[in-house]
Amino acid sequence: MSKYPIYLDYNSTTPCDQQVVDAMVPYFSQHFGNASSKAHAHGWYAEDAVSQAREQVASLIGADAKEIIFTSGATESINLAIQGLAQKHASRGKHIITVATEHKAVLDVCAHLQEQGYDITYLPVDAMGMIALDQLEGSIRKDTVLIAAMYANNETGVIHPVAAIGRLAQKYAIPFFCDATQAVGKIPVDVDTDCIDMMAFSAHKMYGPKGAGALFIRKKNPLLEIPPLFYGGAHERKLRSGTLNVPGIVGMGKAAALCQAMMASDAKHLQELRDMFWKEIGAIEGVQWNGQQDHSLTHVANICFNMQGGDKLIKTISKHVSVSSGAACSSATVEPSHVLKAMGLSDTKAHSSIRFSFGRFTTLREITIAIEEIKKAVSRLS
């Protein structure tokens, strides 16, 4: 029997894989050295561990280890990249292109830049959550200094045509920044194939620890020589001052290695779980799938139950099933999802939509129980 509540909110955060925890533990007490301490063995040991983790993270995304900057997470990476690029190219232009369905970490940075005099184009999406490449190209101007588009949406799982976006950016010599937080570790991501210049992601979305993340910055490109957000040392190529979180970085490296080794088997497992889940839940009257189902992450299902007070459904099943209405950072708000609204859903439908996201440790038994609890709750609330 599965232990309640069943966790189906993997897009919010993932549990640390036990192998990740085991890899981290020695660096809290046994190998506690500062990776910047160059004069003794304790520092050397920590530095070697960070170097190995950098190699592991780089390997996962097809990058060079020297292109990986460790941060506290994707939000910091996003701020470092977007604000840094905006500042770097302010004299050349102040036009930035992004997408209306981006994570709030990107949208809030763009809103901040608007207050500083930048002009932001927010590309719309269609009813399936997809952007139009011709509209993207038509939005490019002489003063465009950045294109920022996520890899896969955190609420719907919809995957953008990243490589095509990257090629467009290259065509016009515009830096392309990608928030790949939900994609890295789940699907193959290759920064060269995808023509990505800068990319943010977090450890805790791929079975690693919270408080660790990375920013990929393509080397040998003068367009990407950005200033740091804050100062205090020459850490991380002089871009991210502060003592390195060695245990967290080690954990991120181990998580990256595990994801690389288990990606195919994880994807197969998750596809089977989602197909089973949708076969049963999709049969409920009035239920609809939000987003482009055949071009989305295999572990995500954003479903509209088309009823008044969708929050009541979440509360009703919350004792048995942990889910969310959207992004964890904004789940406390009563506002309808900006992602679903951008896709054309009414406030009522957006409010009655729930994101289910499965993970490596989700079992068939848990899905069966979740389906039963959801069906009972829908019947009771209808």
Given a cut of 90, is residue 33 above it in pLDDT?
A: no
pLDDT of 1 > 50? The answer is no
In a domain, 168, yes or no: yes
Q: Check residue 328 and give its pLDDT.
A: 52
Task: Assess whether 247 and 347 both reside in one domain.
Answer: no
| Cis, bond preceding 5 (omega within 30 deg of 0) | yes
For residue 376, what are the contacts with CB-CB under 8 A and spacing of at least 6? none
Does residue 6 carry a pLDDT above 60?
yes
Same domain, 58 and 181: yes
CA distance 209 to 212: 6
Spatial neighbors of 78 by CB under 8 A, at least 6 apart, are: 103, 105, 106, 109, 179, 200
Q: Looking at residues 54-71, what average pLDDT do you find? A: 97
Residue 1 lies in a domain: no
Q: Are residues 167 and 39 in the same domain?
A: yes
- In the prediction, which pLDDT does 250 show? 97
CB 318 within 8 A of CB 266: no
Residues 240 and 277 in one domain: no
Same domain, 351 and 223: no
pLDDT tens digits, one per residue of 185-217: 999 999 999 999 999 999 999 999 999 999 999
Does a structural domain hold residue 271?
yes
Task: Of 193, 214, 196, 175, give the one whose Cα is nearest residue 83.
Answer: 175
Could you give the angle at which helices 104-115 and 74-88 cross, rounded to 10 degrees? 30
pLDDT band at 38 (very low <50, low <70, confident <90, very high): confident
Does the pLDDT of residue 272 top 50, yes or no? yes
pLDDT surpassing 90 at residue 113 = yes
Buried b / exposed e over 283-292, threshold 16 CB at 10 Å, is ebeebebbbb
**What is the structure's pLDDT at 333?**
53
Judged against a pLDDT cut of 50, whether residue 267 lies above it is answered with: yes
What's the one-letter identity of residue 206? M
State the pLDDT at residue 382: 78
Amino acid making up residue 6: I
Of residues 143, 217, 213, the one with CA closest to residue 185: 213
Kindly tell me if the per-residue pLDDT of 293 is higher than 90: yes
Domain that holds residue 195: 18-257
Same domain, 307 and 328: yes
Report whether 273 contacts 279 (CB < 8 A).
Answer: no
Give domain status of residue 70, yes or no.
yes
Q: pLDDT value at position 369?
A: 95
Is residue 308 domain-shared with residue 220, that is, in the same domain? no
Tens-digit pLDDT profile for residues 240-266: 989 899 999 999 999 999 999 999 999
Most confident by average pLDDT, 25-34, 73-82, 345-354, 373-382: 73-82
One-letter amino acid of 253: G
Contacts of 126 (CB under 8 A, 6+ apart): 132, 343
Looking at the structure, tell me whether residues 200 and 300 fall in a common domain. Answer: no
pLDDT of residue 63: 98
pLDDT tens per residue, range 157-177:
999 999 999 999 999 999 999
Active site residues: 329
Q: Which amino acid is at 57?
A: V
Q: Are 74 and 327 in contact (CB under 8 A)?
A: no
Specify the pLDDT at position 36.
80
Determine the Cα–Cα distance for residues 249 and 54; give it in Å rounded to an integer. 8
Task: Check residue 309 and give its pLDDT.
Answer: 63
Based on the domain organization, do 243 and 304 belong to the same domain?
no
Average pLDDT, the chain: 93
Residues 232 and 138 in one domain: yes
CATH number of the domain at 224, please: 3.40.640.10
Q: 247 near 236, Cβ under 8 Å?
A: no
Do 125 and 136 fall within a single domain? yes
Q: Which of 197, 223, 257 corresponds to the end of one domain?
A: 257
Mean pLDDT of 224-228: 91
Together in a domain, 248 and 270: no
Find the mean pLDDT for residues 276-305.
Answer: 95
User: Is the confidence at residue 332, as pLDDT, over 60?
Assistant: no
Q: How sure is the predictor about 60, in pLDDT bands with cuts at 50, 70 and 90? A: very high
Count of domains observed in the chain = 2
Q: Three-state SS across the chain?
A: CCCCCEECECCCCCCCCHHHHHHHCHHHHCCCCCCCCCCCHHHHHHHHHHHHHHHHHHHHHCCCHHHEEEECCHHHHHHHHHHHHHHHCCCCCCEEEEECCCCHHHHHHHHHHHHCCCEEEEECCCCCCCCCHHHHHHHCCCCEEEEECCCECCCCCEECCHHHHHHHHHHCCCCEEEECCCCECCECCCCCCCCCCEEEEEHHHCCCCCCCEEEEECCCCHHHCCCCCCCCCCHHHHCCCCCCCHHHHHHHHHHHHHHHHHHHHHHHHHHHHHHHHHHHHCCCCCCEECCCHHHECCCEEEEECCCCCHHHHHHHHCCCEECECCCHHHCCCCCCCHHHHHCCCCHHHHHCEEEEECCCCCCHHHHHHHHHHHHHHHHHHC
Confidence of residue 325 (pLDDT cuts 50, 70, 90): confident
Half-sphere exposure of residue 184: CA atoms within 13 angstroms, side-chain side: 35
pLDDT of residue 2: 53
